[in-house]
Structure 1
Amino acid sequence: MIEYALLFGLGFLAAALIAMLVAPAVHRRIVLYTENRLKATMPLSPQEIRAQKDMARAVYAAENARTMQELLREREASVSLQISNGTLVKEASRLLGENQDLKAQIHDMSVEAADSRSKFRRTEIDATNLKEALRRTEESAVAKDLEITALVKRIERMLSDIDNLKIERTTRETEIENLKMRVQALRDEREELRRETRLVTKRAKDAEIRLAQEEHKVLRLDDRLAQAMAEGVDKEALLERRTREIARLKTGVKSANAQVRAAVKALRAANLPVPDFKEIAVAEQEEASPAPIAAAVTADLAEELRHRHTALTERLIKAKTGANDKALREEIADIAAKMIVLTAANEGEKSPIPELLRANSTRGAGKELTLAERVLAIEPSLAGPQVSQSPRPE
């Protein structure tokens, strides 16, 4: 590293030494060139300066004289050009006038030619119009002849049409008479239909009134059905409690008998006197009570009545005409009969319904089934042994 620095310093010093040696020669050369240039550009004496001024004045005077000569020549040329221009303007004015005269002549000749052409065309048009008028006249004459012929034929047709119209008028008068008679018949028929409509309307109103009454009956029967169902549920609960109590008592009696038997055995084993007593007889197997079966049948009947009542209510609401009044009455009567049967079953032996049914079970000949007969047809056991059973309606 130091070697490189020493070499660099040595080179720099050598270059500086060479520059110092060459610098005086270069300086002398520059001074020489500068002196020569100054000598060439600057005068060396006042005479030379005056000579240069005189030479400049002479050159300026010569240039000025030459310029004046050129200006004079240009002025003369301009004057000659102005003179020639005036001559040309006059010639152009003359030519322009002649041109305008020629144009006027050409225009006049064109107007005359146009007038001639227009006259010729008008003449041709007049000739054509005359030919066309002649042709139209001939055609109109032929057309009038044809029109006259057509009018004659038309008059003949009109005469025949008049005869036909007379015949048709007579026919129309006959048809009008027939239509009048038919209109009168239709009016009579309309009056008859109006009377029938009023009658049908009256019947419909009566049917609506009866339907409302039947609806009220159905509502009352529904209330009675709900009451009977509530009573049936209460009786079923009471019966179930009684059954549980009887079972409990039976169990107690059995346990007491077992204890008594054990005591008797103990006394006999001890050779002690046995007191005289009787065991409480308890049947091991009893006949099945019909109460649960009757309760199940009653519940099924109540459910059936509820469903039928709902369906009947929907039918009554949707009914718009009295076409199914008879079927609805039969349905209501059947529901009422089954309601009475359900009430009698819920009330049991204390119910007064069987006596009422036996008192009203007679049926007249040719009459519809009464409510009592419907009840007996559904449940013949309510009639008792005195009344014969009637067949159940389908």
Structure 2
Amino acid sequence: MADSATPAPGGSPRQIVPVIAMMMTMALSYGISIPLVSFVLESRGYSSGLIGLLAATPSVALFAIAPFVARLVRIVGARPLAWISLLTVAASVGLLPVLDNLPCWFLLRIAMGVADGILFSVSESWINMLAGDARRGRVLAIYTSVMAAGFAIGPALLGLVGTEGWLPFAVATGIILTGLLPLSLTGPGLPDLDGTASHGLMGFVARAPTLSLAVLLTGYVDAVLISLLPVYGLRSGLSASASALMITVGALGSLLLQYPIGWLADHVDRQKVFLGCGVGLVAGALLLPFVAGKSILLWPMLLLWCGACFGLYTVAMTLLGQRFTGPELVVGNAAFAALWGIGGITGPVIAGEAMDRFGKEGMPGTLAAGGLVFLAIGLWRHHRRKPTSSA
């Protein structure tokens, strides 16, 4: 179905909660397996470059599969594809200690990225269609908050199970397999995602450039903050512990502020909330040099800044579900996954190079520049078209 679809009343919590629960198991396992593999390779003396390459492999695979997700859904069916993808992710993690050599690990990470791309596209399409327009922002805010919590808790579990032997791999695999239970509880009421979309990924980007840029930018910001914010803190005079705390406070902000942002998206003009998050991104990037290492205002600023940055993705998903449904929505979610992957791969490279060339302020400078481009395009399209179709 094309964009500007008639808003659906939404599904029941009995349909929405199991899908979100299934995806939380994915976030938990992802949060465990990605750093786990890095720790194992580090202990074996592999170079940082190779470790980073293996860590980026799932994102590359996710990007590669994105153009084919809608076709696979049409051929196989959304629910069977979700089962296959979940089992593939479990196998790709569970086989790591069995096929314990680097070439096999690259192949397993590719399989994981492909399955992740399919699962995220299908499940986020289900959640968006089940949410209904009246509560879409809040439901998607809960989903993004749950996913953020899963990604944050996953690495902490490594402190309990360790990084040696079979146990951490078995725990990660077991968590993924628990996702089969909520998937089996979804029942027959899941939305139909079959059918033929009228456009592919590039067609979607052409029809929704502001949404596409927002997701690309959020993926960029996410990767930059995780990888370079502690470095920025150290170069600003903060201690190592305080620099690491910057990520924790930022993650807390992205977790706590999503529901208020989702509530706003359900009660006021979503385009204004969308652009407001962009303003918050730019403002935080410009303020960072003035508060880092010098002011207690750094901590509340980080809380609000990261909340606004990731609110951009929450509202983008809300607008996506408002405009598209069925196979069109699957294509949109696949495009989101691909764009996030591109942002995540390029972000640390571009921002790191900017820090080398222009000093530590090059990092927030690239974030502010990206935010300004988003605002320029978003404001132009907002004033050029009606608010409901200007994304």
TM range (shorter): under 0.3
Q: Which has the higher contact order (CA 8 A, sep 6+)?
A: 2
Q: TM-score, normalised by structure 2?
A: 0.19
Q: TM-score, normalised by structure 1?
A: 0.19
